[in-house]
Structure 1
């Protein structure tokens, strides 16, 4: 899909690192112009904490049917941090991963391969 005008490639790291500019890129791709206050609202309301507190995004109606009643929160913050895998891989595992990653991702745009 590389190079197709109706296909947008984004990376999770990019979204986490540059949330505002990534959202602007998405809006541009969708031909949707947001006013600054709309973009600020989008940033605020798509934060983990706001979404966790919002019953419409946290699916409380699923408790009991699909979720454990005791732990019924659909949204839970993971203890892992982006890139935290580096703390668990040995040097040899990291080198092996990097080699395979480079081979498999060779056709991606350079900005997608960190």
Structure 2
């Protein structure tokens, strides 16, 4: 990830192209947050004026059309009958690479 962002910043600087990077994760919050956004911010901070350093990182944990909602910091997967099941209580939590350590986003 670091190499990709650093290369993008360098190419944008050489090309005099404004660079904006958006980091996304999937709707069950698999991913490396906040590591990915920290790497991006650091690379942009160390980079050139072609890159715009983020003012903030927004975490928007919701994809209602796919049955993923967050209520009071508890991220849930809605079952077929509409029941909201905490994602930490689903097989997603056991993923060897992107498993969960805590059921609440604040933890």
TM-score of the superposed pair, with normalisation by structure 2: 0.26
More helix as a share of residues = 1
Higher RCO, 1 or 2 (CA under 8 Å, sep at least 6)?
A: 2
Q: TM-score, normalised by structure 1?
A: 0.25
